[in-house]
Amino acid sequence: MKLIEKFKNWFTSSKIEELEKKIAEIQKGQQTVSKVGVAHPIVTSLIKKCIYNVSTKNIDIVFTDGDVISAVVESNIYEQIRNTSSKEDVLQLLTPNNVKGSDYDIDKNDEKFIKEQITPIVDILSDVQDFKVVNTDVFLKGVNSISIPSSIVAEFIRLVSEIQDLQDNSSELIAYEQLDKLKEEYDSLLMFTYKLLLNPLKDSREQLLNFIKKNDIKITSYGNLVLYRACWESKTEDTELVRFVAKEYLKIKAWKKSPKNYEVVEDEKGLRCVSFGEVHESYKGNLAELYSKLPEMQSKGKQYYSDHGKKKIVIGDIYKIDDKDVNLDANVCAAGGLHCASYDYDYSGFGDTNLIVLVNPSKTITVPTYDFSKMRVSEMMIVGINPNERGVHIDDAFYSNLDENYHDYSIDELQEAFKNKSFEPISVSTEVTELSLTEVVNITDILKNRIVEVV
């Protein structure tokens, strides 16, 4: 089991290399940095803003065409960037000695190493009905076009091995508890892998695995990613009530209690929650019912919106980008997609309200070349306002209900596409999935039924 444990540590470890976080703020209509930073007027029309923090060495470049790039560079590079005349020159200055290439090369070498190590023991998955082993490659049931990445195969080997060990020695209660936990983990990874293979972008699938490994990303029981972002809040008549409901709902869920048992009232103390059935003059509604109506409540005004593009964000609803607006270029940091980040990413400069979001792995686009702690996606589910400080994982009780709703929404979207003979849900920009329609139908059926048996 030592080899299996090695794979476990490799795949589920915290960040291998944590990049310095962005701390410079871009204020509307002017160039600005933190007190320890510097800013100078830009002499070229190529760059709209160029902000450099001398303490963190973080640079943010806003081009006149709307693209934004962030990186960590020495001060002499900052001076050179200010005087460049082409975006290509800027990218070259930000990538000395092919730093990006070396980072990705290491990950690809890791994947090759993992495959070499698991080859002698990969047959352990041959007896599990969810897999098909062909020579040294492992495929999911019903999928023959794309093999499972070796890092995920290694994790499946670990889980199956530990499950089998416990099944052979399950006389004690603790063994049953451990067995249930392992099966839940297996189920989650299986759902994640099916959704990952639905992603039509090969580079995105590879980058996503690196992103998960480097940033200690949590995967839900339905195989979605738990990520974070910020947005801006604008005041409307219902803003205070929306914010209160969004936060209280998640807080009570974290207490392992039902929001249905709480009412929202308003008195001289302001908005607050009371036990179900208590009588108050200023009754706003049942907490669970109010939460379900958040999208409707926010339709009355622009209460939450993104930093880039000022797109409206609705808590409790799907946030999407049009396919025509997707940009597949990883060198473009802030355009061509919706952004979300790891639990410890400093996104304070992108809004005054911190959010929890869920992302279907099939909807990821790219991880920006110069910022490995965030990613660009085409769609996300807005769970609610994050009550935690930066650097703290959210508990699954916060998002469990919406996780199931988002999963069901994804399945309904695929099934509706089949009726219309459309590949739209599994295509991005000009890229179309490598899977056949039959394979996509197979995956959809499996995801819908969520039948998992480990033997």
The pLDDT tens digits for 377-392 are 999 999 988 888 888 8
Residue 452's pLDDT band, with cuts at 50, 70 and 90, is low
* pLDDT tens readout for residues 296-308: 888 766 677 787 7
Instruction: Give the residue from 194, 186, 188, 223 showing the smallest Cα distance to 454.
Output: 186
CA distance 433 to 208: 16
pLDDT in tens, 219-255: 999 999 999 999 888 777 677 888 899 888 888 887 8
One-letter identity of residue 2: K
Domain ranges for the chain, please list them. 37-94, 105-216+408-449, 225-234+303-398, 239-298
Asked if residue 339 lies in contact with residue 357, where contact means CB atoms within 8 angstroms, the answer is no
**Residues 148, 154, 158, 161: what is their CA dihedral angle, to the nearest 10 degrees?**
70
Q: Which among 237, 282, 250, 277 has a CA at the least distance from the CA of 261? A: 277
Average pLDDT over residues 271-281: 79
Whole-number pLDDT of residue 43: 39
Task: Report how far residue 174's alpha carbon sits from residue 189's, in angstroms, rounded to the nearest whole number.
Answer: 23
Q: Which position has the token pair 């009570």?
A: 252
Span 160-217, pLDDT tens digits: 988 888 887 766 665 677 888 899 999 999 999 999 999 988 888 988 988 898 888 9
In angstroms, the CA 67 to CA 61 distance is: 8
Is residue 341 within 8 Å of 230, Cβ to Cβ?
A: no
Residue 352 burial (CB < 10 Å; 0-12/13-18/19+)?
A: exposed
Q: pTM of the prediction? A: 0.70
